[in-house]
Structure 1
Amino acid sequence: MATICSFCGNKIGFWSQQISFKDGKMGGKCLIKYGMGTKWNFKPGAREYAKEHTVQEFKDLIASGKTFKDVQSKYLTDDEKKQAANDAKYDELMKKYDKMLPIFQKEATAQFSHYIFDDKRQQILQKKTFLSDPRFINYSDIISYKVNQSGHDEKKHHGITRAVVGGAIAGGVGAIVGATTGGKQNDYIDHLGLIITLKDGSNFEIVFIRKIEQEKANSFTARDDIQRFNTLVSMIDAIIAKNNQTAKTTSTENTNPDPADEIRKFKKLADDGIITQDEFEAKKKQLLGL
């Protein structure tokens, strides 16, 4: 006798996933529809919830405008709760990414590989790839960079690697490939990338030439990659210079207190009899530059 889904009334296929409530079954399609599972597995806590509730109780939950997610945490282990929190964060990130990607593409100041620079928003969008999640990077978080370059000559196939640090740490090198390698240019470029470091200590690399490509240094493709690389370095130099100026201005503002605040402070001292009224008036004139 075929098993019937208590929610849609359809037969549950032999190979289809199903979950048992106190008084009925839920088939694979409804598992997906009501957020209790996917095509291949159950959502954490789904089976535990079903064991404790009737079909009607779950229907009432859905009718109230809630979903399984609203009650899921009660049926999770500590590890599952952590995973659910991570999943929720990922879902929010992907919603933001899907919304912002076309905006970044429209406003793009420049794009290198899967990194979109947007001067208007002062952010870099790292696009989602097969191996990495999307990421939003603030210009203000960039503190330094390092040129990552290696190459070999026609007759010497061992790699020669050079790295030059720029930005906040070294003061900016305005890197030009060739100059960054002490004037020596190899016959082949095996790798060319820029490693950018952020305030939190993390970094990411924007790669122009990968080892698998090994471009001939004097080829049109290599020259184009080097030109785009130098454009990126110039942009990062400008961003770091702006960040340094902002930090310097903020520091100056912090060391120069607001005159109004200082006057209030000295007025209280006068009111409390700690300084005389004449002393207060003299300090007030000084603070106002009179």
Structure 2
Amino acid sequence: MAKKKKILKKQKKPWYRRFWPWVFITIIFILIICVPANIFEKIILLLGVAFIVWQNYKDDKDKVARIAKKNKAQCSLCRQSLKNSENYLLFKDSAYICKDCIAKYNFTKSINKAEIWASKHTINGLKKYINQGKNFDDISLEIDKQKEKEKAKKQAEKEKRKQEQAAIKAESVYYGGYYFDIDKRKIYANTAFHGIEFFVNADEITSYRVAEKGHDENKHHVFTRAAVGAIIAGPAGAVIAGTTGGKINEYIDELGVIINLTDGGNFEVSLLNSKNNKADGFLVKHAYSELNHVIAILDGWKATEKVVEDTKDSTDAPAEIRKYKQLMDDGIITKEEFEAKKKQLLGL
């Protein structure tokens, strides 16, 4: 028991570390009593005080436990007691080596690197190196080689990604923060942190709507117009015509295309987002020109899908006709019904 007391006394905190929590708690209690506050605010303060007391007690208890464990421990290599050792190295499996072994195996040359390595490895890992006649110089060399290898790998990946993004830029058209690859039927987002990233396929798009916000000359009236239309409905000109019927004295503040997806989500291709743009000014005209291009791309993708579907249907027509012919031969359908179905499948 006397031995344990000696250990605790040796690790005694300075006076300012021992008394500051109680000074702080006393001040808080005075504030709770004297300062007017509702019951909820006082409860919050009391909970804060309780947390500080608990944290301080927990830190002391954990530190005493670590000290006691270290004083009972032995060096895992030479079996020397660590009780009076000020320097030691702790491994992942809670094994220790003493200051003599630290010096013997050259851990002292880079103690920070040694501590990081030891925290990720067990004592058996170190013993394997020692059995091979190696010390921490060899381990450190392996660490540096691994870092160089990882650095080279990251650099190669970065260069590859850079080339991929350059290819996307070359093959795509850019509108409102998104790259549209017309031939590959893909939309890429231009993100702040990761650069150009794949966003959606054309097949995931169900419909779109044009959104326009603005105000009149005196700013007494704010207007919002939206032309809603599925991609399968009508040419782009019909959609645009529904949004450009404003007076010359109107100002356009926002203009974009909101694209709806099969999963129920949507995103906006914003082509104009600034105040006081005259409706007949250059910026608004340019934004509407880009809007026409975006909608032409979307309508073109949908038209291509329809051609593919029609081709598929026409390809399957002979098989369907044979199926209905068999039904007629079996007496399940009449000849008139077969002929009508045949004309329907052939598009006659």
2:202 aligns with 139
TM-score with structure 1 length normalisation? Answer: 0.54
Q: Which has the larger radius of gyration?
A: 2
1:40-189 counterparts in 2 under 5 A?
50=120, 56=126, 98-108=162-172, 110-129=173-192, 134-168=197-231, 170-175=233-238, 177=240, 179-181=241-243, 183-185=245-247, 187-189=250-252
Residue of structure 1 in register with 2:115 after alignment: 25
Aligned residue for 2:297, secondary structure, equals helix
| Equivalent residue number for residue 233 of structure 1 | 295
- 1:120 Cα offset (Å): 3.0
Q: How many residues align?
A: 202
Provide the rounded CA distance (Å) in 2 between the counterparts of 1:133 and 1:104: 8
Give matches, 1:182-197, under 5 Å: 183-185=245-247, 187-197=250-260
Matched residues, percent identical?
27
Structure 1: 5+ residue stretches without partners: 13-17, 19-23, 31-46, 68-92, 267-273, 275-290
| 8 A Cα contact 1:195 1:205, kept in partner | yes
Q: Secondary structure of the residue that 1:213 maps to in structure 2?
A: strand
Shift of 1:207: 0.5
What is the identity, as a one-letter code, of the residue corresponding to 1:236?
A: L
1:246-285 to structure 2, matched below 5 A, reads: 246-251=308-313, 253=315, 257=319
**Cα separation, 2, equivalents of 1:126 and 1:208:** 14
- 1:216 match: 278
The structure that is helix-richer by fraction is 2
Q: 1:131 to 1:96 in 2, by over 3 A?
A: closer
Q: Say which SS state the counterpart of residue 275 (structure 2) adopts.
A: coil
CA separation of 1:180/1:94 partners in 2, compared to 1, >3 Å: closer, same or farther? farther
Q: Which runs of 5+ in 2 are unaligned?
A: 1-85, 90-101, 130-138, 148-156, 331-348
What is the identity, as a one-letter code, of the residue corresponding to 1:217? A
TM-score normalised per structure 2: 0.46
* Conserved 8 A contact 2:177-2:270: no
Deviations 1:91-128 (A, max 9, x none): xx9998545211111222x2113211222322221122
Give the distance between the partners of 1:216 and 1:225, measured in 2 at CA: 12
Partner of residue 261, structure 2: 198
C-alpha distance after superposition, 1:5-37 (max 9, x if no partner): 98894243xxxxx8xxxxx6117xx9xxxxxxx
Any idea what SS the aligned residue of 2:217 has?
coil
Per-residue deviation, residues 197-223 of structure 1 (Å, max 9, x unmatched)? 22232221111111x434111111211
Aligned 8 A contact 2:253 2:276 in 1: yes
Higher relative contact order (CA 8 A, sep 6+): 1
Q: Are the counterparts in 2 of residues 166 and 172 from structure 1 also a CA contact under 8 Å?
A: no
| Distance (Å, rounded) in 1 between the aligned partners of 2:233 and 2:244 | 16
> RMSD across aligned C-alpha pairs, in angstroms?
4.5
* Cross-structure match for 1:10: 110
Q: How far 1:160 sits from its partner (Å)?
A: 0.9
SS of match in other structure, 1:205: strand
Structure 1 220/253 Cα, relative in aligned 2: closer, same or farther at 3 Å? same
SS of equivalent to 1:144: strand
